[in-house]
Every structure is written in C-alpha cells, then in structure tokens.
A and B are shown apart, each in its own frame.
Chain A
C-alpha cells in the first residue's frame, strides 16, 4: 500500500519535473522561435511580391528580359538553398574583397530566402496566369477593358484562386526551410536547439523544436484552408 502510494507520488513528481523542464526549454528557445517567425514573414512578404516581378520577366515578349529571368529561376530551383545562402553571405568578400560584418548575416539570410522563394512563386504565378483561358482576355477586350484593368479585375482574381493550393505547399516548405538560416549561424530556432541539446545532452530541445514547427505549420495549413474556402464561391 505504502509502496504503491510512493510510486504514484514519484510518477506525479516525474511529470511535474518534465513539465517544468519543458516550459523552461520553451522559454530558452523562445528567442529562436521569434527569429524563425521573423524570417518566415519577411521571406513570404518579399518573395510573394518579387515573384510577381520575376513572373512578368519570365513571360516577357523580349528575349533579353525573358532569357535571363529563365536562367535565374533555373539556378534558384536547381541549386541548394544552403549553398545560395553561403554565396550571398561570403560572395561580397570573395568577389570584391568587401568586409562582411556579422550584422550582414540576417540580411543575407533574408535576401537568399526572398530571391529563392521568389523563383518558386514566379513559376506558380506563371502557371496560374497562363491557365486563364484566352477567351477571358478576348471578352475583356470586347468590353473595352484596357490591359491593366483586364489584369486587375479579370485575370488576377482568377489567378489567386488557382494558385492558393501550390502557394500553400511552398509556404509549408518555407516554415521548415527557415531552419537553413542555421547555415550562417543566425540564432533562430534550429541553431539554438542544436546548441542547447549539445550542451545539456538532452532530447528535450528537439521535442520542443518538433512541436514548434508542427504547430507553426498547422496554423499555416488552417489559414490556407480558410482562404481556399473563402474563394470557393465560384468555379
């Protein structure tokens, strides 16, 4: 009887300790979480905008615009993001002998992420724009819309509906890719996790990191599901 009670107390204490340790770890990793979330939102904002510019370059009538854009997209998609980050960070020094301050790290990460994701988004936009039937353009022309009006009122809303699922996919990948900022030892979630795990020989940081990325992505997925539903009023 006494022994059983002792075991229960021990179990409860064990859970308590675990809980406290978990909360403690979360607070130590909080700084990293904030940085990861920052990288995520900045990348999303800049790459979604830049992607539009790249998409138009890719669809340009002029070869001198279209071809370099095509090469750019091809390189961005054909080489590892990790390598791109290194080139952007160390490139100025190797190529021009410029001094790199450590403050440049975060900037390099954001530039790397933004242009890499812009290439992916550009291809998504292009596919979306090219999927709009030519009849929509012809109808718009007959009704007197000019090119800008046709794009804003007729094409873009339909493109947005079409690209939500692929953009959602890329965004989920982006959440996980933020961990690549670790390459330039920006103190984000993953860098911190590895440091603490190594220092304390503990699994706990990895558990917290796993839960963090999972919940982050759950929020992203639910948000996109909501957007998709909102746009479901027409086919």
Chain B
C-alpha cells in the first residue's frame, strides 16, 4: 500500500492551469525529490498535498483513506472535515521560510502542538522534544527565541517541530533556498540522516546533487506536468531534451 497516492491532480489559478494531470505515488520509507524550473507548479503540488490549497480535479489518498476523490467528470470532492482532520495528522510540512512562532522559545515551538493539539503527556513530549533537538544539534538552544538563531538553526527547529507530531510523511518545500550556501549543508545533512532512518519524505529542491544522492525517486516537473521521473540514475541520464536542457542550465 502507498502512503500517499495522488491521481490526475488538476489545479487552476485564474485561468492559468498550474497543475495538469499530475499523478504520483509515495511508498513508506521512500524519499521522493521534485525538481523543475521556477513556476512549474512544485509548490502548488505540495500545497495541494498538505491541504493548504484545494485542487480542482483528481484524487488524493493517504494510507488508503480518501482525502479527495473525483466524481465521474474528474472534479475533486473533498472528504468530510473529520476525515480531513485525521488525515492532517499523517503529514508535516517544512516551509522555505521556516514560519516558526516568534513568541515561543525553541522548546515551546516544538512542544506546543503536541501538548495543546494532540494533548499528549507533558513529560513524554518534552523528552521527545529534547531528543529531536539533540538530533538537530540544537540541545544548547532550547531556551532561545527564533530571532536569536541563524537561518539554518531556525530551519532545524522547524524540522524538529514537524517531527514532534510523529508524522508518517514529511514534505519539504525548498528547505534550503532561504539560506546562505554555508548553511545549506547543515540542513541537507539533517534530511540525509532522516532518510537513513527511513523517514518518508517528499522534497522540492534545487539542489541536484542532493536529490541525486538522497532520493529514491525523482520527479521532474515543467509547466504543470511531469516531464520525466524515475530513479536518480534514470532521470539524470534521460534522453528527454527538456530534462537535458534543465540539467545543462544548472551546470553552467
């Protein structure tokens, strides 16, 4: 069974069709990288997958449960709020610009949702948070506030915050593009470590080497369609002219 299945997803913004019949499947423990030029619809796809945006057509299934199914004309029909609320707990999202809560300390950023939303036990949540912060190399920063941290540190806090809720799948939307090149490495290493632990992840990235090394499956998108997909080997040695052009541009 797939953790996530998206079939024939369509999304239009004011007459512009941003996603045209996108289908993707993510298995448990798999790392999927989505690459493609700016404006190709990568963020929109992640936002549809994380219910921040509503798709116009297609279906979306998490762990066999339909978040969205399509009617006979292919139009998207969303499940009832209580179903969506349950499905919401299956995934987490790491934003490009972190979106930490500035008025919460690092520790509170990580613990607040597990305590107030999931109503978990305080001791358990705090222990888990400390473990996560340790894993992110932030054990010293517990009491700091986001503005006192570097971008890379803030991004690691936001990853810890997402992981604290025990999601089955974690989405990343260009987790390193708001960071200086020196700080990019520390985030990529954290993601690599998560991949080694078989965390299921879908990562939109412009870091080709990273995608190549970490991803099990790469999807190349352009103008709202999947132009090429497959293993890193297959995609990076593809004969598709658009794919070659994109990779060529990046190398220059």
User: Looking across the interface, which residue of chain B has its beta carbon closest to that of A139?
Assistant: B99
B146 within 8 Å of A (CB atoms): yes
User: Looking across the interface, which residue of chain B has its beta carbon closest to that of A145?
Assistant: B117
The one of B99, B117, B147, B165 that contacts A234, using a Cβ cutoff of 8 Å: B147
The one of A136, A144, A158 that contacts B117, using a Cβ cutoff of 8 Å: A144
If A153-B112, A235-B102 touch, does A141 touch B165 (CB 8 Å cutoff)?
Answer: no
B196 within 8 Å of A (CB atoms): no
Please state if A234 and B103 are interface contacts (CB–CB under 8 Å). yes
Please state if A158 and B92 are interface contacts (CB–CB under 8 Å). no
A2 within 8 Å of B (CB atoms): no
Of residues 154 through 194 on chain B, the ones whose CB sits less than 8 Å from some CB of chain A are 161-162, 165
**Total residues of chain A contacting the partner, CB 8 A:** 19
A97 within 8 Å of B (CB atoms): no
Please state if A235 and B147 are interface contacts (CB–CB under 8 Å). yes
Residues of A with C-beta under 8 A to B89: 144
Complex formed: what's the CA distance from A153 to B89 in Å? 19
Please state if B101 and A144 are interface contacts (CB–CB under 8 Å). no
Q: How far is the CB of A116 from chain B (nearest CB, A)?
A: 31
Interface size on B, as a range, is 20 to 34
Complex formed: what's the CA distance from A138 to B92 in Å? 11
Please state if A136 and B101 are interface contacts (CB–CB under 8 Å). yes
The one of A133, A145, A234 that contacts B113, using a Cβ cutoff of 8 Å: A145
A78 within 8 Å of B (CB atoms): no
Q: How far is the CB of B6 from chain A (nearest CB, A)?
A: 18
B38 within 8 Å of A (CB atoms): no
B93 within 8 Å of A (CB atoms): yes
Q: How far is the CB of A114 from chain B (nearest CB, A)?
A: 30
A98 within 8 Å of B (CB atoms): no
Please state if B116 and A136 are interface contacts (CB–CB under 8 Å). no
User: Looking across the interface, which residue of chain B has its beta carbon closest to that of A136?
Assistant: B99
Per-residue CB contact flags for chain B residues 124-151 toward chain A (1 = under 8 Å, else 0) read: 0000000000000000000001110000
Complex formed: what's the CA distance from A141 to B51 in Å? 9
User: Looking across the interface, which residue of chain A has its beta carbon closest to that of B47?
Assistant: A138
Complex formed: what's the CA distance from A14 to B118 in Å? 74
Complex formed: what's the CA distance from A144 to B117 in Å? 6
Residues of A with C-beta under 8 A to B91: 142
Number of A-B residue pairs, CB cutoff 8 Å, is 55
Please state if B113 and A144 are interface contacts (CB–CB under 8 Å). yes
Please state if B147 and A143 are interface contacts (CB–CB under 8 Å). no
A157 within 8 Å of B (CB atoms): yes
Please state if B99 and A141 are interface contacts (CB–CB under 8 Å). no
Complex formed: what's the CA distance from A234 to B147 in Å? 7
Q: How far is the CB of B148 from chain A (nearest CB, A)?
A: 9
Complex formed: what's the CA distance from A135 to B161 in Å? 15
Please state if A145 and B101 are interface contacts (CB–CB under 8 Å). no
Per-residue CB contact flags for chain B residues 63-99 toward chain A (1 = under 8 Å, else 0) read: 0000000000000000000000100110111010101
The one of A135, A153, A158, A161 that contacts B99, using a Cβ cutoff of 8 Å: A135
Please state if A143 and B103 are interface contacts (CB–CB under 8 Å). no
User: Looking across the interface, which residue of chain A has its beta carbon closest to that of B104?
Assistant: A234
Most buried by A among B52, B102, B118, B146: B102
Residues of A with C-beta under 8 A to B146: 234
If A144-B118, A149-B117 touch, does A157 touch B103 (CB 8 Å cutoff)?
Answer: yes
B23 within 8 Å of A (CB atoms): no
Complex formed: what's the CA distance from A44 to B147 in Å? 33
Q: How far is the CB of B87 from chain A (nearest CB, A)?
A: 11
Residues of B within 8 A of A (CB): 50-52, 85, 88-89, 91-93, 95, 97, 99-103, 112-113, 116-118, 145-147, 161-162, 165
Supplied contacts A136-B99, A144-B165, 16 more A-B pairs, CB within 8 Å? A133-B99, A136-B101, A138-B95, A139-B101, A141-B52, A142-B50, A142-B93, A142-B162, A143-B113, A144-B89, A144-B113, A153-B112, A157-B103, A158-B103, A234-B102, A234-B103
The 4 closest A-B pairs by CB, nearest first: A139-B99, A143-B113, A135-B99, A144-B117
